[in-house]
């Protein structure tokens, strides 16, 4: 039943999603130009996809500790690096979108909840070489694989914290000069997602960006996303693929929400509305 609801939520999104030709907000149009419809192939993409492929071929055993909702596809605790790399990592298009988002807005102090094997972490960190990414992973065995990934790429601007989010997030936030960007990609349940959102809120500034992965992954995650969209401090929300993006810009006088797709995915819309 949950998988059928997931299909329905995706289908509804694809039907409603707009391209840049249907968007009238200058800021959102710029997001579309700089992030979704940017055709530039950045230096990091090839290296990180080679790393992803290497992980998918790694048959080494791994005993996974999952403190969240698990996976809709595989939820085996005794598995291999290859199995997790195949099913439990963000799609390359998500990593590349986050790279472009960070390259556009240039946040300096970044936090990630849910490191996994570190490929998506690297997409974000390599887009902010003058910034610092603090990433939190609950599973020690998974974190070791992620650290090895960071070492392979020679990423120097990542601080990997091993621990459960509930136990370490508050301390991480307290030590930051400010919170410019947070990517929440762990647990995937309604109540914890809302809790981490509320924990991060006191540290926002006008340009802070919150990103939530898998906002349609389950009914609970979708409910959490609806609550976040409705929060009084949230000014603008974007929904792209399975990702929800939150802005707090004071320039945004009225609350708005957009469901978006790159123009190339809806070519007919683009041609009709030019």
Sequence ranges of the domains in the chain:
2-38+91-273
The CATH class, in words, for 2-38+91-273 is alpha beta
Q: What is the pLDDT of residue 188?
A: 86
Strands 243-247 and 256-260: unpaired
pLDDT at 220: 94
Read off the pLDDT of residues 70-127 as tens digits, 9 standing for 90 and up.
444 344 567 899 999 988 788 899 999 999 999 999 999 999 999 999 999 999 999 9
Q: What average pLDDT score do residues 221-238 get?
A: 97
- pLDDT bin (cut points 50, 70, 90) of residue 20 is confident
* Model confidence, pTM: 0.91
Long-range pairs for 75-81: beta carbons < 8 A, 24 or more residues apart: 81/55, 81/117, 81/145
Report pLDDT for 133. Answer: 98
Question: Token pair of 151, please?
Answer: 């070492």
In 17-125, where does DSSP find H-type helix?
Answer: 26-31, 43-56, 81-87, 92-105, 119-125
Mean pLDDT on 145-158: 97
Per-residue pLDDT of 159-207, as tens digits, reads: 999 999 999 999 999 999 999 999 999 888 999 999 999 999 999 999 9
């Amino acid at each position: 039943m949950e998988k059928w609801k997931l299909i329905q939520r995706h289908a509804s999104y694809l039907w409603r999603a707009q391209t840049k030709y249907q968007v009238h907000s200058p800021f959102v149009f710029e997001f579309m130009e700089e992030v979704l419809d940017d055709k530039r192939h950045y230096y990091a993409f090839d290296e990180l996809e080679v790393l992803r492929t290497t992980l998918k071929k790694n048959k080494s055993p791994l005993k996974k500790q999952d403190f969240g909702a698990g996976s809709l596809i595989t939820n085996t605790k005794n598995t291999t690096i290859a199995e997790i790399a195949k099913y439990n990592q963000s799609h390359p298009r998500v990593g590349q979108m986050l790279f472009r988002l960070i390259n556009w807005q240039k946040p300096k102090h970044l936090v990630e909840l849910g490191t996994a094997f570190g490929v998506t972490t690297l997409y974000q960190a390599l887009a902010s070489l003058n910034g610092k990414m603090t990433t939190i992973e609950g599973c020690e065995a998974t974190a070791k694989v992620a650290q090895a990934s960071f070492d392979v790429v020679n990423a120097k601007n990542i601080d990997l914290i091993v621990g459960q989010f509930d136990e370490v997030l508050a301390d991480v936030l307290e030590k930051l000069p400010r919170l410019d960007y947070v990517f929440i990609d762990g647990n995937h349940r309604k109540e914890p997602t809302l809790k981490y959102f509320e924990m991060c809120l006191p540290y926002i500034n006008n340009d802070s960006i919150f990103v939530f992965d898998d906002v349609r992954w389950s009914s609970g995650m979708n409910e959490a996303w609806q609550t976040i969209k409705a929060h009084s401090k949230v000014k603008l929300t974007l929904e792209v693929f399975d990702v929800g993006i939150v802005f707090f810009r004071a320039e945004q006088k009225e609350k708005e929400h957009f469901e978006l797709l790159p123009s190339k995915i809806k070519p007919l819309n683009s041609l009709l509305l030019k």
